[in-house]
Amino acid sequence: MPTKMIEVKNLQKKFKNNVVLKEITEHVDQGQVICVIGPSGAGKSTFLRCLNALEQPSSGQVLFEGQNLVGLDDKQLDQIRQKMGMVFQGFNLFPSMTVLKNIMIAPIKVKKTSAEDAKQTAMKLLAKVGLANKANQYPDQLSGGQKQRVAIARALAMDPAVMLFDEPTSALDPEMVEEVLKVMRDLADSGMTMVVVTHEMGFAKEVADQIWFMADGYIQETGQPDDFFDHPTSPRAQEFLKKIL
Ligand code: ADP
Ligand code: MG
């Protein structure tokens, strides 16, 4: 039996009386790559933010490695969030710090890693994302694709158990999308557990173990990429794919 890394049970999320997530029950196994796709406004970002407790569910449960996140205090949540790397559409790098510092800061501040160890890890990760030669540059000296690769390295520096991506390539110029997807593909190949909200259907088809199709606050359909893209069963997915493919 695969180990369940994340479990979502009857998750509901509302903002005032806007029910954004209606009733979601799913799980992510260790080592699995899930691509979440669906139209804008479907609730994808909200769902991802519930997974690492940036949003509290209105009802239902989110479990990480068997532990229910609902009801934990901030300190306990911080502990758990350390194990969940998150990469957003905007890169949110610290503009006043070099690339190297950006990657070193959280392990030093949060995990009390020594500066020497943090630097060594950061350099290793920069090499992994193909940016070893940018260590001493500042974020505004980098292209969007390079910034996003630094953001991925920064998340990895905390040695997370799972990586959550919210449309990591949506803000990039087209010619920079592929370099970021390559880093993500390598990460998937290395066995990282990943939940990726994306509009990159080629990536989803090639890399995902499972597609979760979201619309109207529900996961309408899940399936292996070939099945999903070739034979979507839900009317909402059929309609969505017809528009984009
Ligand atoms: P997606 O990422 O699929 O485009 P979102 O999760 O961003 O969808 O948004 C789903 C719905 O939730 C939208 O109607 C949005 O306006 C609403 N929403 C998201 N975050 C908030 C918030 N913090 N406060 C109020 N409404 C929100
Ligand atoms: Mg979104």
Contact 193, 28 (CB under 8 A): yes
For residue 83, the CA-to-ligand 2 centroid distance in Å is 22
Q: Which ligand is nearest to the CA of 42?
A: 1
Ordered alpha helix ranges (H), the chain: 44-51, 74-81, 99-111, 115-128, 144-156, 174-189, 201-207, 225-230, 235-244
For residue 37, the CA-to-ligand 2 centroid distance in Å is 10
Residue nearest to atom 10 of ligand 1 (CA): 43
Mutational test site, ligand 1, from 11, 18, 46, max ligand atoms within 8 Å of CB = 46
User: In whole numbers, what is the pLDDT of the chain averaged over residues?
Assistant: 96
Using the CB atoms, write b or e for 193-216: b if 16+ within 10 Å. bbbbbbebbebbbebbebbbbbbe
- Ligand 1 atom closest to residue 49's alpha carbon, by position in its atom list: 6
Residue nearest to atom 5 of ligand 1 (CA): 43
Q: Looking at the predicted structure, is the pLDDT value of residue 132 above 90?
A: yes
**pLDDT 10s digits, 78-88:** 999 999 999 99
What are the pocket residues of ligand 1 if the criterion is a CB atom closer than 6 Å to any ligand atom? 15, 18, 20, 40-46
The pLDDT value recorded for residue 231 is: 96
Q: Looking at the predicted structure, is the pLDDT value of residue 91 above 90?
A: no
Q: Which residues contact 202 (CB under 8 A, 6 or more apart)?
A: none
Asked whether the ipTM of the predicted complex exceeds the cut of 0.85, the reply is yes
Question: In this structure, what token pair is assigned to residue 26?
Answer: 């799913």
The pLDDT value recorded for residue 236 is: 96
Q: Looking at the predicted structure, is the pLDDT value of residue 239 above 90?
A: yes
